[in-house]
Amino acid sequence: MRPDLPTVPLEAGAGPENPPCPACGEPLFVWVELPVETGLAHRCEACGLGVLGRTGTTGDALADLDHDSGEDGAIIFENRASFQSQLTGGAWSGLGTDRAYRFTPESIVRLVSNRDQVLDSSRWLPGTGILMMWQSGINMFTFGHNLALGRFGRARATPSRKAWRRRLDAFITVVLAVPSMLFAVPVELIGGLIGRGGASRIRLKVL
């Protein structure tokens, strides 16, 4: 960035088309990297939160975060700030969930501060992350997304609407299964080592 150019704050983009982020209040911008089938989506430049469909409120985002909370209170989430997400863009398998929001560690910290909570612990899930990266690699070559993980109930599959494309996707998935895994393992391990793994389990505590 040239030093003689003025810095434009994110707040300057606020408006009807750029609603406030439920986590940090900064304006959301259109998430243009996603496939057309995903529909209108937004992402926050400040905390990284991704929003699919209706923006919603802070309460909506908190409810979505808590949706997959286990009996022990732990929450597993797909990291939109992960190395694999940045690498694969609209092919990222983490888009194929029932969540309306795609969280980052920073967005979670800011979001839960609204109810006086802080992050107590965070643990990278390498096995889950490798499977996600494996599917993301296949998604880069198929019309539909998450066909393999969707078959085993590990993600929400979005098959193509055309029969010939579905048949081709099935063939591509089989052919790329091994090569994609050979690619997924080192990519996710690198992501985990630099603190940008594909999936994490977190615990929250009240201040």
- pLDDT(50) > 80: yes
pLDDT at 35 > cutoff 80: no
- Give the integer Cα–Cα distance in Å for 88 and 145: 12
- The fraction of the chain above a pLDDT of 90, given in percent, is 73
Q: What is the pLDDT of residue 91?
A: 94
Please name every residue paired with 29 in a beta bridge, in sequence order, or none if there are none.
Answer: 43
How many residues are there in the chain? 207
Cβ proximity of 61 and 101 under 8 Å: yes
Model-level pTM greater than 0.85?
A: yes
Q: Is 15 within the bounds of a domain?
A: yes
Q: Is residue 5 part of a domain?
A: no
- Structurally, how many domains does the chain consist of? 1
Please give the pLDDT value at position 8.
42
**Which residue range(s) make up the domain with 85?**
10-206
CA angle 64, 53, 90 (to 5 degrees): 95
Quick check: is 57 in a domain?
A: yes
Place of tokens 């209170």: 73
